[in-house]
Amino acid sequence: MLEIIQLPVLTDNYIYLLHEPISGETAAVDPAIAQPVLALLKQKKWSLNYILNTHHPKKIS
């Protein structure tokens, strides 16, 4: 069964980690910042296989 973890970040955002235990593959969805993802991956002893971004990057002028 797919494990889904929701991580609150910044003031109004979430990062989702999706982990499939049979294959061991893990995806991060919209990782706005790396630290919470890296900490949870280390805690769970998971490797990150995929990063899915659903937002476009802000253009900085």
Report how far residue 5's alpha carbon sits from residue 7's, in angstroms, rounded to the nearest whole number.
6
Q: How far is CA 24 from CA 32, 45, 47, in A?
A: 23, 10, 8
Burial of 18 (0-12, 13-18, 19+ CB in 10 A): middle
pLDDT at position 54 is: 87
Does pLDDT of 58 surpass 70? no
Provide the 3-class DSSP secondary structure of residue 61.
coil
- The residue ranges of every structural domain in the chain are 3-52
**pTM of structure:** 0.84
Does pLDDT of 57 surpass 70? no
What are the residues whose beta carbons fall under 8 Å from the beta carbon of 40, sequence distance 6 or more? 5, 7, 17, 46
